[in-house]
A and B are shown apart, each in its own frame.
Chain A
Amino acid sequence: MSASDGNGGWQQAVFDTLKAGGIRQIAFVPDAGHATAIRAAEADPDIRDVVLTTEEEGVALVCGAWLGGERAALLMQSSGVGNCVNMFSLLRNCRFPFLSIVTMRGEYAEFNPWQVPMGKATPAVLESMGITVMRVSEPQQVAEIVGAGIDAAFQAGERVAILLSQSLIGRKQWVASNE
């Protein structure tokens, strides 16, 4: 099984909360921490799963979804936040609601130094572009905080990124790709 094993409960809670919050499009660049939500989105006929080549596509895509009356969410890894920066200007200029769930790297038990610079910069980069940062570090907080982010985005019209701490995700486990 995948690295998400043992994390299946909170990972499923991410998806369940998004679905209960009326999210109809889930765009993503894959990450192990999002694996359960991505699989669930692929399997759910009510939700369109959109795999991206780069995260900034997803920023524009979720804005287009809202323009057309649908709620959408962007799942990415902290490295992807850096890819999005100029595209975030859509959000503030047009006051689009925005919800992103960001799995963190480079902050806890990280083995890959290449993940560290963007991981460290992620909260500041988001905030500098006018996005409210929330964080989840305990499995039992996931549903509550993701739900709070959905309310903030789609009821108050905020731009929200929810960071899933690397300590929540745990140490990277190398697994066979056919699992």
Chain B
Amino acid sequence: MSNASGGLVDRRVLVRALIDALPDALVVSGLGSPSYDLFAAGDRELNFYLWGAMGGASSLALGLALAQPERSVIAISGDGEQLMGIGSLATIGAQRPENLTIVVLDNGRYGETGMQPAHTSLGTNLVEVARGFGIADAFEVDRLDQAGEIVRRVNARAGVAFARVKVQVNEPPRTFPPRDGSFVKNRFRAALGFDPF
């Protein structure tokens, strides 16, 4: 099967560029490759890695963004993860926290389970979906040098932004973040100055 992956974005390089440019951001990653990508950019206390709860990344990031209005919050998920929780974009479009940016790494595949074709390669356009849910600042990223457009919005904290990143269909080496959710949660809270639970 042909694809035009050569011209698309390397997911690892993009996520590392975001994290390098945004060292203070609070970051939530969806299960599978986005969590591996985030960890591969360097483990951070302010990363919250999901290994399950598919569809929950952007909703979790919304609750975090509402609780921490002075901090920039980024949700990084895959197209399958975002589609499973697609209604969350309607909820985010209604709440409109100024400090939330959603980055969907879209390879049009279910990468974790054998690269089966997914909806975004079968007709769904996530940017149009996001706009339809009231997220006006929804945009495509298909070149690495556009990472700065994401960074600018995260730093501006001027409204919800939604970036659909067209990433190469590949499988970088799997790099596993901690699977102990309680540890990751308590570490994250401690970094914000909160007691563990």
Q: Do A and B bind each other?
A: yes
Residues of A at under 8 Å CB distance from B? 24-25, 27, 48, 50-54, 56-70, 72, 86-87, 89-90, 93-97, 157
Residues of B at under 8 Å CB distance from A? 26, 28, 48, 50-57, 59-68, 85, 87-88, 90-91, 94-95, 181-182, 184-185, 188-189, 192-194, 197
* One of A57, A89, A96 near B185 (C-beta < 8 A): A96
Find out whether the CB atom of B95 lies under 8 angstroms from the CB atom of A50.
yes
Given A51-B91, A61-B60, A64-B28; A24-B67 close (CB under 8 Å): yes
Expressed in whole angstroms, the Cα–Cα distance for A67 and B191 within the complex equals: 10
- B contact residues around A56 at 8 Å (CB): 55-56, 59, 85
- B contact residues around A157 at 8 Å (CB): 197
* One of B52, B56, B185 near A67 (C-beta < 8 A): B185
Find out whether the CB atom of A25 lies under 8 angstroms from the CB atom of B87.
no
Instruction: Report the minimal beta-carbon distance from A79 to chain B, rounded to whole angstroms.
Output: 16
Find out whether the CB atom of B197 lies under 8 angstroms from the CB atom of A68.
no
Expressed in whole angstroms, the Cα–Cα distance for A27 and B65 within the complex equals: 14
Instruction: Report the minimal beta-carbon distance from A149 to chain B, rounded to whole angstroms.
Output: 16
Instruction: Report the minimal beta-carbon distance from A73 to chain B, rounded to whole angstroms.
Output: 12
Find out whether the CB atom of A93 lies under 8 angstroms from the CB atom of B85.
no
* One of A24, A27, A53, A69 near B87 (C-beta < 8 A): A53
- A contact residues around B91 at 8 Å (CB): 50-53, 57, 61
Instruction: Report the minimal beta-carbon distance from B185 to chain A, rounded to whole angstroms.
Output: 5
Find out whether the CB atom of A64 lies under 8 angstroms from the CB atom of B88.
no
Find out whether the CB atom of A87 lies under 8 angstroms from the CB atom of B184.
no
- B contact residues around A54 at 8 Å (CB): 87
Q: Which of B28, B48, B63, B68 has the most CB of A within 10 A?
A: B63
Expressed in whole angstroms, the Cα–Cα distance for A58 and B91 within the complex equals: 10
Given A87-B55, A89-B52, A90-B181; A61-B87 close (CB under 8 Å): no
- B contact residues around A67 at 8 Å (CB): 48, 60, 63-64, 67, 185, 188-189
* One of B66, B85, B88 near A25 (C-beta < 8 A): B66
Which partner residue on chain B sits nearest A48 by CB separation?
Answer: B66
- B contact residues around A24 at 8 Å (CB): 67
Given A54-B87, A87-B56, A95-B182; A69-B63 close (CB under 8 Å): no
Instruction: Report the minimal beta-carbon distance from B66 to chain A, rounded to whole angstroms.
Output: 5
* One of B51, B53, B67 near A69 (C-beta < 8 A): B67
- A contact residues around B48 at 8 Å (CB): 67
- B contact residues around A51 at 8 Å (CB): 91, 94
Q: Which of B53, B55, B182, B193 has the most CB of A within 10 A?
A: B53
Which partner residue on chain B sits nearest A27 by CB separation?
Answer: B63
Expressed in whole angstroms, the Cα–Cα distance for A86 and B84 within the complex equals: 12
Expressed in whole angstroms, the Cα–Cα distance for A127 and B112 within the complex equals: 30
